[in-house]
Chain A
Amino acid sequence: MIPQVINLWIPRLLVSSKGKQMGTTTGFRREEGTSFASLELKTINPILAEMAVLKQQPTLFNGDTVDRVDVNGEPSESESEPESESEDEDVKLSEPSKTSINNKDGLLEKLADISWPENVEWVHKLSIDIDQEQAVDVNDDLARELAFYTQALEGTRQAFEKLQSMGLPFLRPPDYYAEMVKTDAHMEKVKGRLLVEKKKIEEAEERRKARDAKKIAKEVQSQKLKERAKQKKEDIESVKKWRKQRQQSGFAGGDKDGEMPFSFDDGKVFERSNKKRPGVAPGDRSGGKAGFRGGKAGFRGGMGKKGGDKMRKDREHKNSKFGFGGRKGLKKQNTSETTNDLRGYNKGNTGNRKRKR
């Protein structure tokens, strides 16, 4: 059933947005006893009132502190005496609240009138009384809701124990389908909202992780680059040193005896470089998009493309042809290494045979 699916949400205590409304009214009520007194005086005549305030302040303070101590900061008025707002009775503001009616005997009489007979079984009432241990602060939403939740939990535990001892069925069987208090459509909406929230949380988590990972990756990358630069520098330095040594020693000894500047202890073997065109210096810029091969391919495949794409291709084409000093031309193709290089031949004779190998 849908409700059970949704209950993956651990009872998160709901902070009600309207809880503050309650808070403000009570909050206002508390301060009201103290400020109302001063308000009343001052609205009459500023200077006179002010003199009066100066004189009466000691008594007012007394009255107020009495209020705070005795009546717990209760407000000044009750519904029964709305007329007691004259200035002289400021000190008596706590008293109207005490003159309210509380007819205990009458209440108990009425209680006896309406209550059910004594021997009614508990099954009819289904009521549990829970002890509220700590006084709950009304304005603290979380604590208040927690108190209600624990009261409910404790109550249901006790009730279920009683029901279980009675032996009657009280739990819903899984195949019991009946009308629920909220419609299925409504529960779908609830489910949708829960999923959206879950998704948001997950996305936020992922973003945070990605950010952290990026930071770490950046650090690692910078480390690597530094390492590489250092290594390169070292290699060049060592070659220079070796050359100097050789110069100094007057080129004595054969090459085999000479100390190899390159240390192969780190396991790097001299590998054939990835250059597909040996004999061409590294700074040579031929062979890009505008190279011999690139030009042919581009010419055939370049038809029928949209303007923007084509413009970009043109730009790239031009860049590789003329950028950074231009091409060096198809000068060095046939070198000692390439005479014995038969890589291209095995794949058959597809394509241009004049292609550079």
Chain B
Amino acid sequence: MGKKRKHSELTVTESKKKDEIASERPKRTLMGWKDKVGEKETDSPVFRNKEKVLVTCSRRIIYRYRHLMLNVVSLLPHCKKDNKVESKESKGAALNELVELKNCSSCLFFECRKQKDLYLWMAKCPNGPSVKFLVNAVHTMEELKLTGNHLKGSRPILTFSSNFDRDPHWKLLKELILQIFGTPKEHRKSKPYHDNVFVFSIVDDHIWFRNYQINVPHNETDKVDRGGLDKMTLVEVGPRFCLNPIKMFGGSFGGPTLYENPFYISPNQIRALEKRKKAGKYAKKVKAKTRRKMHELSNPLEPDEFADLWKE
């Protein structure tokens, strides 16, 4: 018995030794054989765009903006549309939770206030920056003047105007837009062909969005016809909108304010000012009258030579 134990101990030690020797064999990994001796640093894991966007809106959103939201949903195959959120839940914490729940990495939240104004939140969750925009000049895809059409889920070509590189806040916005509106490469709902182009351009400190369908004469799938690039035409597909950045925050739906638009006036203020302008009409009239009187008093007219001409 004692001998057996000794034997087993011996075998244990022997096997251990064998293991040590064996571990010097080159490791077999998914990327191929990796030599232990001349171990090279493997390349960083291949980049995969795993962006997922959650698209929601607030309650009491009107039809035009709801259609805009649905259009955006159809444009982005990597998005998830969710139910309307209650007004109480449109504060930061609840939305962040919702995004986490749906396992998304960013969020587009359409908030409609007073059934007139549409605000768009673009946020990177969980701790990314977020931006609040005021949306103007909305034209949806259903308008019959926008006649183009493209594949659903095709990866768009994103074009930015060069003034996105001028200021840091524009740079940040460009990165956000690139990540949210660009369809990931091997997404399961994406189509492999590129037949539409998004235009984001900054004019008058607003971001204008346009979506065009590309028509180019071609016979093969990987080559344009000779001279075809010059015959390329674009037809607008829609939707169309214009974004006015209001504020940019460091956190998702909240956090320290990183940027505030100095030229932004809220639509409420605009409406109030217009009303006040109208209200001042009568006051202006009265003022003008008094001013005239003062002027007349201070500059008396010379006596008219011909005043008594026709008196009899």
Contacts and interface: CB of A to CB of B under 8 A. Distances in A.
A236 B308 CA distance: 79
B157 A155 contact: yes
Contact of B150 (A115, A149, A180, A193): A180
B152 A179 contact: yes
B216 to A, nearest CB: 7
B47 interface: yes
A16 interface: yes
Interface string A28-51: 110010011001001100110110
A14 B146 contact: yes
A229 interface: no
Interface string B257-272: 1111111111001100
Contact of A181 (B192, B237, B262): B237
Contacts of A78: 260-265
Contact of A102 (B161, B259, B265): B259
B147 interface: yes
B136 A14 contact: no
A110 B216 CA distance: 39
Contacts of B236: 11, 14
B191 A114 contact: no
A132 B213 contact: no
Contacts of A190: 144, 147
Nearest to B274: A28
B82 interface: no
B182 A157 contact: no
B188 interface: no
Interface stretch (B8-16, B31-39, B93-101, B170-178): B170-178
A88 interface: no
Contacts of A148: 199, 201, 208, 210
A90 interface: no
A262 interface: no
A149 to B, nearest CB: 6
Contacts of A169: 192-193, 221-222
A-side interface size class: 35 or more
Interface in A247-263: none
Contact of A42 (B144, B157, B256, B287): B287
Interface string B264-308: 111001100110110010011011001100000000000000000
Given A46-B287, A127-B160, A103 B259 contact: yes
Contacts of A121: 47
B191 A178 contact: yes
A153 interface: yes
A16 B283 contact: no
Contacts of B199: 148, 151-152, 155
Contacts of A14: 145-146, 236
A194 interface: yes
B215 A16 contact: no
A42 to B, nearest CB: 6
Given A19-B137, A180-B152, A127 B178 contact: yes
Nearest to A51: B294
Interface of B: 44, 47, 49, 74-75, 124, 128-129, 136-139, 141-142, 144-153, 155-165, 168-169, 171-172, 175-176, 178-179, 182, 184-185, 191-195, 197, 199, 201, 203-204, 206, 208, 210, 212-216, 218, 220-224, 229, 232-237, 240, 242, 246-248, 250, 256-266, 269-270, 273-274, 276-277, 280, 283-284, 286-287, 290-291
9 A-B pairs with the lowest CB-CB distances in the bound complex, closest first: A155-B159, A169-B221, A97-B262, A100-B260, A100-B262, A107-B168, A3-B149, A138-B204, A110-B129
